[in-house]
Amino acid sequence: MSHMITTHDLGKTYGDRTVVANLDLRVPEGCVYGFLGPNGSGKTTTMKMLLSLVRPTTGEIRIMGRPMERSTRRELLGRIGALIETPPSYEHLTGRENMRLVKRLLDLDDGRTTRAVRTVRLQDHLDKPVRDYSLGMRQRLGIAMALAREPRLLILDEPTNGLDPAGIEEIRRLLAQLAGDGTTVMVSSHLLGEIDRTATVLGILGEGRMLFQGTRDQLLARSTPDVLIDTPEPERATALAARWSAYRDGPAVRLPGLDRTDTAHVVAHLVHERVDVHGVRRDTQSLEDVFMDLTGGRGL
């Protein structure tokens, strides 16, 4: 698989505070890569390092197969579109005037800015000053500005932050469409639910370190969901399985995050103690639960 971005041992330290450490990013070409983590986990710092806005303390970055260094930086950055923190538009100017500035700054032809505006479906709002735009429209204008140069890689920092559900859905659709057209999109969020279905690959950051990187299925496979035991003697079964943290859950007994070996031990123990076991089931675990487990419940 060819990668749009790879990093090796990427890290950033401010004074004696390490905010990103040992990061080995693998962003496959043509995917939507969901970069997830609680607030303050280092997502913005990482994205800024990829864009040469922050100098890494350690490690290497390769983009489009080439090392990001002084001699390649200009050319590589010319093929990356980015939206970091607040959208970069001028409030008192209209959307059209803002796009015109981008066009002039990057020396683009009209076609590119027109296409970018259509992609984000802002063509009917171009003559309003940006200060009258909704947050969703501002984000879309910011994305249009990043798209104007028709980048191969788009890096977006929390583009759904503060949007209502309709706005979030709009951005999701846009990202999927861009990836469908061949643009690699790296998008950060502190809420798994906001990019879960759009992202084909997930990278989960916690306190500056990668906790997980892979597909959603791989993430789900790593989880150990709870086990539920059906028995006519739930009180006695709960007491007998106390060392596995058993507790009553309606008519059943719940054993949190029990792996296969412990499941076998619990069942053997209950049977040995002559408790009738009528059923043993695995609870279903949502991706949200796995994310919460990984980030220590700080994903919200």
Ligand X SMILES: Nc1ncnc2c1ncn2[C@@H]1O[C@H](COP(=O)(O)OP(=O)(O)OP(=O)(O)O)[C@@H](O)[C@H]1O
Residues near ligand X (CB under 6 A)? 14, 19, 37, 39-45, 190
We find the least distance from the C-beta atom of residue 70 to ligand X, in angstroms, to be 22
Q: Which is nearer to ligand X, 149 or 190 (CB)?
A: 190
Instruction: Pick the closer one to ligand X by CB: 45 or 183.
Output: 45
Minimal distance in Å, beta carbon 242 to ligand X?
39
CB of 231 to ligand X, least distance (A): 45
User: How many C-beta neighbours within 10 Å does residue 32 have?
Assistant: 25
Measured in degrees and rounded to the nearest 5, phi and psi for residue 51 equal -95, 10
Helix (H) or strand (E) holding 248: strand 247-249
69 close to 60: Cβ distance less than 8 angstroms: no
Cβ(35)–Cβ(62) under 8 Å?
no
Work out how close the CB of 85 gets to ligand X at its nearest, in angstroms, rounded to a whole number.
8
Q: How far is the CB of 172 from ligand X (least distance, A)?
A: 19
Q: Where are the alpha helices (DSSP H) in the chain?
A: 43-50, 73-77, 95-106, 110-119, 135-147, 165-180, 192-195, 216-222, 234-240, 260-272, 287-294
Q: Which is nearer to ligand X, 49 or 122 (CB)?
A: 49
Q: With contact defined as beta carbons under 8 Å apart, do 219 and 30 qualify?
A: no
Nearer to ligand X, 45 or 238 (CB): 45
